[in-house]
Amino acid sequence: MFIFRLILKNALRHKLRTFLTILGICIAVTAFGFLRTIVTAWSAGVEMSSVTRMITRHKVSFIMPLPKSYREKIQAISDVDLVTYANWFGGLYKDPNDWKNFFPRMAVDPETYFDIYPEFVLSEKELLDFRKERNACIVGNKLAKEHGFKIGDIISMDGDIYPGKWDFVVRGIYKGKDETWDETQMLFQWDYLNERIAQQQPTRQGNVGWYVLRVKDQNAMPIVAREVDELFSNSRAGTKTETEKEFQQSFVSMSSAIITSLEAISYIIIGIILLILANTIAMAARERTREYAVLKTLGFSSIHIVGLIAGESLLLAGLGGALGLALTFPISAGFAKLFPTFFPIFNVEDITIILAVSVALFAGIIAATFPTSATLRTKIADGLRQIG
């Protein structure tokens, strides 16, 4: 009890120094937590991948189309349960330089897409309305809130990949099955896209961007991938089939340099936390050399001295870490609100909390190591001679 009281009193001895140290750790932990949240948000798609879904895309590049006629052939493979398809639309909504106007827009098969993706939660009526109107669209709940979309609203867009002016009628607003599902997408009928393209650019009609396969048995995925790709190996559009997780991972790996940089910065921040704290603790321990010598003279053991120095270090690290972590939540929420479609899933994950707490505690222990060791090595007689 006395040790805790003395730790607290020591920590409050130089209030400004203690405040600045805690503030420094707080800012560093906030930055660490925020960067880690970005890194996890970047990989959110990988984490929420289904274990029964596979993606078939053009073997050269994701942006190259595949014939829609492949669907029946893929569906015929014995371990494939259901096949759907989708197509990236792109388009420009209002001011394209405003990040909030960028959200995923995809043409999908209205009959099968939602069977394969039960994560989109829609009412039966919304789904029926969507299926029976050619230029109907469905938007995510978060997107609808951001732009004020309501059922019956018309969303007008300028095409870029597919030129022309495009109007879509909102016929449904989906919710994710849980908070990990992206609620910022806009989905519309592939037939609407195909019919317009058939009129404007007939050579581009009848193509889809990629296929989504639901397999009957997760263990059959390697066999399905091989069978699908062998099926089209001599076609003009060869395929690459992989699990949904691998597919998502390939997107993440495109940004690997950015992610690696963010991770590197987050590790540098750990170093900064360590230096801030180590500097404070080293100064404090040096100033108190004589006091520690007095305590040893009076019979206090090395464990007491370790407890005093490490305890103060952990106290500062813990307070700074807790405040920093507490700040990470509103800052991340603010960022998510500011850029709702940039990172559709932007939550402070449990692993980020664990990492931030661990980093603060690790820094607390390491920062105390050298001052503690130096204090314990100092002979009592030398310590008593020290002018503080």
Q: Which residues bind another protein (CB under 8 A)?
A: 2, 6, 9-10, 12-13, 290-291, 294-302, 379-381, 384
Nearest to 281 by CA among 305, 303, 313, 307: 313
Min dist CB 2 to another protein, Å, is 5
Nearer of residues 59 and 290 to another protein, judged by Cβ: 290
Which residues fall within 8 angstroms of residue 271, CB to CB, at 6 or more apart? none
**Is 139:186 a contact under the CB 8 Å cutoff?**
yes
Nearer of residues 165 and 377 to another protein, judged by Cβ: 377
Min dist CB 316 to another protein, Å, is 16
Min dist CB 363 to another protein, Å, is 24
Min dist CB 375 to another protein, Å, is 14
Cα–Cα distance for residue pair 59/44, rounded to 1 Å: 24
Min dist CB 9 to another protein, Å, is 4
Burial annotation 5-22 (CB, 10 A radius, 16+ → b, else e): ebbeebbeeeeeebeebb
Min dist CB 320 to another protein, Å, is 21
Strand partners, 56: 211, 241
DSSP secondary structure string for all residues of 188-254? EEHHHHHHHHHHH-GGGTTEESEEEEEES-GGGHHHHHHHHHHHTTTSSS-EEEEEHHHHHHHHHHH
Min dist CB 290 to another protein, Å, is 7
Nearer of residues 254 and 380 to another protein, judged by Cβ: 380
Nearer of residues 12 and 254 to another protein, judged by Cβ: 12
Question: Residue 294 to residues 6, 96, 251, 375: CA-CA distances in angstroms?
Answer: 14, 70, 62, 12
Cα–Cα distance for residue pair 388/212, rounded to 1 Å: 72
Nearer of residues 10 and 375 to another protein, judged by Cβ: 10
Burial annotation 216-237 (CB, 10 A radius, 16+ → b, else e): eeeebbeebbebbbebbeeeee
Cα–Cα distance for residue pair 166/154, rounded to 1 Å: 10
Min dist CB 263 to another protein, Å, is 41
Nearer of residues 8 and 60 to another protein, judged by Cβ: 8
**Residue in the block written with tokens 């009129």:** 199
